Amino acid sequence: MTFRPTLFLAALATCSLSAQAASADPRAQIRGDMDAELRRMLERAVGEVDGAPESRFEARRRAQGAQGAAEALLRSEAYYQPVLEDVVEGEDRPSAIVDVQPGRRFLLTQPTITWTDPAPDAESASDALEAIGLKAGAPGRAVDVISGEGRAVATLVRDGYADAKADPRRVVVDHAAFTVAPEYRIDSGRLVLLDGVVMPRTGRTNPAWVAGLAPWTEGDRYDPDQVAELERRLLDTGVYDGVGVALAPVDQTNADGHRPIIVNLQDRPRRVLEAGATWSTAEGAGVDLIWTRYNRFGRADTLRLETRLADIDSRIGADLSLPHWRKPGRTLKLSAGVVKEDTDAYDRTALVLAAELQQRIGKTSYFNYGVGLDAGRYNEIRYDYTSIPPRAVSFDRDLAIITGRTSAYIDNSNDPLNPTQGWRVTASVQPTAVTGQDTILFLRGETQATAYLPLQDGARTVLAGRLRIGSIIGGGELSVPSDRLFYSGGGGSVRGYSYQSVNPKLPDLTPRGGLSLFETSLEVRRDIGQSFQAVAFVDAGAVGFQETPNLTNMRYGAGLGVRYKLPFGPVRADIAVPLDKREGDSAFQIYISIGQAF
> What is the chain's pLDDT, residue by residue, as a tens digit (598 residues)?
333 443 333 443 444 434 444 446 888 999 999 999 999 999 999 998 888 888 999 999 999 999 999 999 999 999 999 999 999 988 888 999 999 999 999 999 999 999 988 899 999 999 999 999 999 999 999 999 999 999 999 999 999 999 999 999 999 999 999 999 999 999 999 999 999 999 998 789 999 999 999 999 999 999 999 999 999 999 999 899 999 999 999 999 988 889 999 999 999 999 999 887 777 665 667 888 999 999 999 999 999 999 999 888 899 999 999 999 998 999 999 999 999 988 877 889 999 999 999 998 877 899 999 999 999 998 887 777 777 777 777 778 899 999 999 999 999 998 887 889 999 999 999 999 999 888 899 999 999 999 999 997 788 899 999 999 999 999 888 889 888 999 999 888 999 988 888 888 877 777 888 999 999 999 999 999 888 999 999 999 999 989 988 888 899 999 999 999 887 778 889 999 999 888 778 888 888 888 888 8
Q: Which residues contact residue 208 at a Cβ distance below 8 angstroms, ignoring those fewer than 6 apart?
A: none
Q: Which helix (H) or strand (E) holds 205?
A: none
Omega into 389 within 30° of 0, i.e. cis?
yes
Integer Cα distance of 198 and 261 in angstroms: 6
* b/e per residue 363-383 (b: at least 16 CB within 10 A): eeebebebebebebebebebb
Q: What is the pLDDT of residue 18?
A: 42
Full 3-state SS string of 135-164: CCCCECCHHHHHHHHHHHHHHHHHCCCCCC
Q: What is the pLDDT of residue 266?
A: 93
Distances (CA, A) of 291 to 231, 241, 317, 330, 440: 27, 18, 11, 24, 38
The sign one gets for the Cα dihedral 473, 478, 481, 485 is positive
Q: Is 28 helix (H, G, I), strand (E, B) or coil?
A: coil
Q: What is the pLDDT of residue 585?
A: 82
Q: What is the pLDDT of residue 1?
A: 39
Q: Which residues contact residue 179 at a Cβ distance below 8 angstroms, ignoring those fewer than 6 apart?
A: 106, 107, 108, 109, 140, 173
The answer to whether the CB of 334 falls within 8 A of the CB of 362 is: no
Q: Is 16 helix (H, G, I), strand (E, B) or coil?
A: helix
Residue 291, judged by CB atoms within 10 A of its CB (0-12, 13-18, 19+), counts as middle
The answer to whether the CB of 360 falls within 8 A of the CB of 385 is: no
Q: What is the pLDDT of residue 2?
A: 39
Q: What is the pLDDT of residue 282?
A: 57
Full 3-state SS string of 287-348: EEEEEEEECCCCCCCEEEEEEEEECCEEEEEEEEEECCCCCCCEEEEEEEEEEEEECCCEEE
Q: What is the pLDDT of residue 287?
A: 87
Q: What is the pLDDT of residue 24?
A: 67
Strand 391-411 vs strand 302-310: parallel, antiparallel, or unpaired? unpaired
Residues written for the chain? 598
The answer to whether the CB of 23 falls within 8 A of the CB of 51 is: yes
What is the rounded end-to-end Cα distance, in angstroms, of the chain?
49
Distances (CA, A) of 233 to 225, 241, 243, 259, 564: 12, 14, 10, 21, 31
Q: What is the pLDDT of residue 404?
A: 95
Report the predicted TM-score, pTM, of the whole model to 2 decimal places: 0.72
Sorted by where each starts, the structural domains of the chain and their CATH numbers stand as 25-101 (3.10.20), 107-187 (3.10.20.310), 193-267 (3.10.20.310), 324-594 (2.40.160.50)
Q: Which residues contact residue 441 at a Cβ distance below 8 angstroms, ignoring those fewer than 6 apart?
A: 431, 432, 433, 434, 474, 475
The answer to whether the CB of 569 falls within 8 A of the CB of 593 is: no
Q: Which residues contact residue 373 at a Cβ distance below 8 angstroms, ignoring those fewer than 6 apart?
A: 352, 353, 354, 400, 401, 402, 403
Q: What is the pLDDT of residue 139?
A: 95
